[in-house]
Amino acid sequence: DTGVSQNPRHKITKRGQNVTFRCDPISEHNRLYWYRQTLGQGPEFLTYFQNEAQLEKSRLLSDRFSAERPKGSFSTLEIQRTEQGDSAMYLCASSLYPGSAETQYFGPGTRLLVL
């Protein structure tokens, strides 16, 4: 399968715990994006990378959130001291820049539930 993959697909954690999600983009894609989506809303931009460089980060992203893409391939998103409001679907997408219409291809998402 050459699509975007995300692990785990589901995560249940207790408030205050740290969680880490992984995204493996399409192999030739140099841009990687993280979004958060809650029920009834569209995906909300969190951050994006071009290769290993984090080029933009939403001001909505608190200091508890951090993302890395150390070798320009896979990426991790960590949430420290989780809160119930962090419960959402976390989506990863990748694209090839410059390329076809900045088309972003989404992974299946990681659904997080904070109890």
Partner 1 sequence: QKEVEQNSGPLSVPEGAIASLNCTYSDRGSQSFFWYRQYSGKSPELIMFIYSNGDKEDGRFTAQLNKASQYVSLLIRDSQPSDSATYLCAVNPPTGGFKTIFGAGTRLFVKA
Residues that bind partner 1 (CB under 8 A): 31, 33, 35, 40-45, 48, 55-56, 58, 91, 95, 97, 101-109
What are the φ/ψ torsions at residue 50 (nearest 5 degrees)?
A: -115, 115
Measured from the CB atom, the residue of 14 and 100 that comes closer to partner 1 is 100
The residue among 64, 74, 65, 76 whose CA lies nearest residue 25 is: 74
Closest contact distance (angstroms) between CB of 16 and partner 1 is: 28
Closest contact distance (angstroms) between CB of 80 and partner 1 is: 24
Q: Does residue 2 contact residue 104 with C-beta atoms inside 8 Å? A: no
Measured from the CB atom, the residue of 19 and 31 that comes closer to partner 1 is 31
Whole-angstrom distance, CA of residue 61 vs CA of residue 30: 22
Closest contact distance (angstroms) between CB of 81 and partner 1 is: 26
Measured from the CB atom, the residue of 2 and 14 that comes closer to partner 1 is 2
Question: Residue ranges of the alpha helices (H) in 1-115?
Answer: none
